[in-house]
């Protein structure tokens, strides 16, 4: 049995959407209007890559269909 340090609570589709949105927001910081608000894209990018959302954990939400996500 493997022990997970951080259990995943995001479905694969949720993770892909977070990564795409995060990269899009980061593009705003570097390519688009170059506003510092684009750096907020780091949050969805990191949660998408990790597969774990602290907000989901806080509210007891999980988009995984089972515990082996």
pLDDT averaged per 10 residues in sequence order, the chain, 69 residues: 73 96 94 90 96 93 81
Residues 3, 6, 10, 13, CA torsion sign: negative
Measured CA to CA, the distance from residue 31 to residue 24 in angstroms comes to 10
> Tell me, what's the pLDDT at 3?
53
pTM, full prediction: 0.84
> Tell me, what's the pLDDT at 69?
72
Nearest to 47 by CA among 27, 69, 65, 22: 22
């Amino acid at each position: 049995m493997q022990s997970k340090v951080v259990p995943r609570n995001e479905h694969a589709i949720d993770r892909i959407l977070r990564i795409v949105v995060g990269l899009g927001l980061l593009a705003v910081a570097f390519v688009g209007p170059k506003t510092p608000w684009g750096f907020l894209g780091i949050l969805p990018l990191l949660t998408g890559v990790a597969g774990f959302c602290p907000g989901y954990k806080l509210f007891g939400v999980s988009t995984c269909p089972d515990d082996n996500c």
